[in-house]
Structure 1
């Protein structure tokens, strides 16, 4: 965490480098957001009173998060906050806390010792909330801890440049960003929920800020989230140049928004299909269907996480129906359950996996539980009678997996027909996110392919998506990654099979020219990225000044 220093330290070190997580420029004063102490010498009363104290704190936390959901219009924000509500309702989280209280601990002691997240060094492997390096769980943990100890979070002044080691999603959303300001983290990650929220709200943000000693609370600062730099005490000439760049950035942002309503077309008039990625029906609230060509990825995990048991057919069908109706005749691609890895599914994911990212995840997990998988396929086939539906299989590594799913689909169709239940046709595609699938792409009997660039980069370059210190190695434009993408696209062009890309790489304008050169003409991106992606596509083929 940055340390408060004096004027001499400021003069000696005025520039700090970081990684851009959300583009933009902001000028303001530094506000050092130091982590609040979560522990305290709180004497335990009776277990009954301590359980009541914990219950009141958790109920207050739920109310706080519900208020944030009510006043937050962005779908990304509502989805992330909903995840936190589900964390608070998870019985596997609260059970050990009650056990510690029964053993004589106070509510605060039990909560902080049990919900330790990444602060725990020797946490048991069978307690996911103790071992997961998860910002959402940390955020919930810290909120309840503050409520138990009667502490309020510090309120930064309007337009401040917040500097911290890290910050949770609800803490970010509680801050008033309407008057400008920015965020610089010495930790953090470009793929974190806070980074997603910052991009959705247009808040400039840097992560991985190098060093930190010498940063001074209250010092005038310039946050340059284009060049990746935080500057303190800039001289007048530098401030004036920064202000001119900030005005130019604002104008460019306004121009980009003009591309949102129309189709994605290159400078030479070539049409590019651009859809959106969503995590559930709530992500569509406030979005205009005509701004996209369809839904290129629905992450159906939202139905399975935090529920305690797999969702029944009716619940799944109703959720799929809402999305299809919103799309109004545009194609919707539903990814079947992508459980495992960093998204364990209670009752389905095996416990104590030595490496969940290389274990039972994606289609492997679904095929391991055919009864649960059949329910999802039934709901999807029934929903397909309402509009164009495509079914996409995640984490495919073997052609046998695709064949097994086709057999299961045939059985489900026959069963629906026998019982005279209506259903529609679905195209069956695969995600290409494992190098093995890309290298043997011609062996897969799929109706379409969708490149999941996030996992493809992770597995090709052996760099975890959550490794903050290794982000520089996780290059989307690495020759090995581009070579695999090119191989898949070439196969699609040769066979007439559609190839798209639904990972973060497709929403980053820096890589669109290269993807276009490889022959890719179909993208699915976060809703917040639609305008900038269309604007970047419009520049493809335009002579450079």
Structure 2
């Protein structure tokens, strides 16, 4: 007779989403963990009042999670999306209309949100597909409150397995050595971003059928595997790998406060990418060479109106102040593609990634673009600020941007407003720009590896089945080297600010291609500096 001790080892394979190794008991978070009880319809007035109370309680929950997230701009933005939805009467209006017609509050709210979730999940745009989980989470949170159910505590030392997990539930976990395996999701999802920032190993695309709660499990966020009921040999090998990984990270941390220098003694600049001033609050400026990318989309996302010149100016000055005198490169609004901005980007494009996005949108909306350029020119008086333009495809686009910036600076000077003309560079993320880089009138170049890989390989970076193509092939590296060689020949700085710069296993290839400036996520600085220290140009 078989016993539990004789259970066979189960190995489920997925795709790595956040690196690291974790072990612990398996804990399934099946869909439907939220409120499932149904209520009888009472008087419409009472049903409507109960729904409003549940929505208010859900808003309070989200506010608490936002406060607990501290200076995490990514978490704050994701939670702010749900809060904004709760305050949007258009979202709940169908539910209150159904209640007035005699429906119980839970059925009315579920029906209203289910329709929205389905719309988001079916969207071609990856941005909206990622929001479907947020909407489902909001729905379930309100329904639990409506049913009087308390929020379930999720153990942070377990290997959590679910079809999907919304950001707010991830943030509610007190992570303590556990990991996450999802059946859905992608490596660029909101939860994956949070997992990488918090050091929580995560794998997506895992088949969880037949897995039981409480079984010992090993999660490998680097190989993309989930092992259930490991035998002693597998458990021992995993423990050894985990100890080795922990030791490597500890060694890497010793490089954090040092300048990045190759084994040959050559200096390499390591900067950071941020999406708002909050991300600089807990960072020692001395640990980096500056800010290589400020994503200004955070100023426009989830807003009822576009930010004006004074609001943008205050934020840019704040970033310069927090950078401690080090250079700051601000990317102009990169809206469109997977980053729609209501009232600005074009809805319903058949292929948003190949549509009116980045500089293409800015040049079609010069009244919005000029406001940003004026704010940046004024901020340039407060520190070493540079401006770069995204999605440049032809030299004429840079010429038009240069003319608009020069006009903005001249207008400010004529009005007696202090301003300076910042260097104007370009993102190199379209293969056409990399191939003809010498024709572009830019003061500096910053390679956006995410889009450069996507466009070179004709493979969406948001499609899990094409993950094998979303990597730096020989063709991609040739384009990167082409830009680096041109920069060296003309004395113009060339940096790389995509995800590729922060992947330790590719640092040597980037240095061999001629790059000497890398801009990475704040959490990758130590690992990249360590990788730089181990590289030599000598064979």
Normalised by the length of structure 2, the TM-score is 0.91
Q: Distance in 2 between matches of 1:303 and 1:156?
A: 33
Q: Deviations over 1:141-180 (max 9, x none)?
A: 44334334444454344521111122111111111213x2
* Counterpart among 264, 267, 270 of residue 266 in structure 2: 270
Residue 326 in structure 1 maps to residue 326 in structure 2: no
Q: Does structure 1 conserve the Cα–Cα contact (< 8 Å) formed by 2:313 and 2:376?
A: yes
Alignment RMSD: 2.9
Paired position in structure 2 for 1:394? 390
Residue 85 in structure 1 maps to residue 83 in structure 2: no
Q: Does structure 2 conserve the Cα–Cα contact (< 8 Å) formed by 1:39 and 1:112?
A: no
Paired position in structure 2 for 1:409? 405
- Displacement of 1:376 after TM fit? 0.8
Q: Does structure 2 conserve the Cα–Cα contact (< 8 Å) formed by 1:222 and 1:232?
A: yes
- Displacement of 1:127 after TM fit? 12
- Between Structure 1 and Structure 2, how many residues are aligned? 534
Q: What are the within-5 Å matches in structure 2 for residues 106-505 of structure 1?
A: 106-116=104-114, 120=118, 134-178=132-176, 180-209=177-206, 211-475=207-471, 477-505=472-500
Q: Does structure 2 conserve the Cα–Cα contact (< 8 Å) formed by 1:39 and 1:108?
A: no
- Displacement of 1:326 after TM fit? 0.8
Q: Does structure 1 conserve the Cα–Cα contact (< 8 Å) formed by 2:117 and 2:135?
A: no
Q: Which runs of 5+ in 1 are unaligned?
A: 1-5
Shift of the 384–418 alpha-carbon distance from structure 1 to 2, 3 Å rule, reads: same
* Counterpart among 41, 54, 59 of residue 56 in structure 2: 59
Q: Which runs of 5+ in 2 are unaligned?
A: none
Q: Distance in 1 between matches of 2:3 and 2:388?
A: 58
Q: Distance in 2 between matches of 1:522 and 1:300?
A: 21
Q: Does structure 2 conserve the Cα–Cα contact (< 8 Å) formed by 1:120 and 1:130?
A: no
- Displacement of 1:428 after TM fit? 0.5
Q: Does structure 2 conserve the Cα–Cα contact (< 8 Å) formed by 1:117 and 1:130?
A: no
Q: Deviations over 1:299-318 (max 9, x none)?
A: 11111112211111111111
Q: Does structure 1 conserve the Cα–Cα contact (< 8 Å) formed by 2:66 and 2:75?
A: no
Shift of the 171–253 alpha-carbon distance from structure 1 to 2, 3 Å rule, reads: same
Shift of the 218–462 alpha-carbon distance from structure 1 to 2, 3 Å rule, reads: same
Paired position in structure 2 for 1:14? 10
Q: Distance in 1 between matches of 2:115 and 2:457?
A: 27
Task: Judge which range, 444-453 or 141-150, deviates more.
Answer: 141-150
Q: Distance in 2 between matches of 1:198 and 1:122?
A: 23
Q: Distance in 2 between matches of 1:128 and 1:458?
A: 14
- Displacement of 1:529 after TM fit? 1.0
- Displacement of 1:375 after TM fit? 1.0
Q: Does structure 1 conserve the Cα–Cα contact (< 8 Å) formed by 2:35 and 2:149?
A: no
Say which SS state the counterpart of residue 183 (structure 1) adopts. strand
Q: Distance in 1 between matches of 2:60 and 2:262?
A: 47
Q: Distance in 1 between matches of 2:6 and 2:377?
A: 63
Say which SS state the counterpart of residue 478 (structure 2) adopts. helix
Residue 536 in structure 1 maps to residue 528 in structure 2: no
Q: Deviations over 1:259-301 (max 9, x none)?
A: 1111111122111111111111111121111111010011111
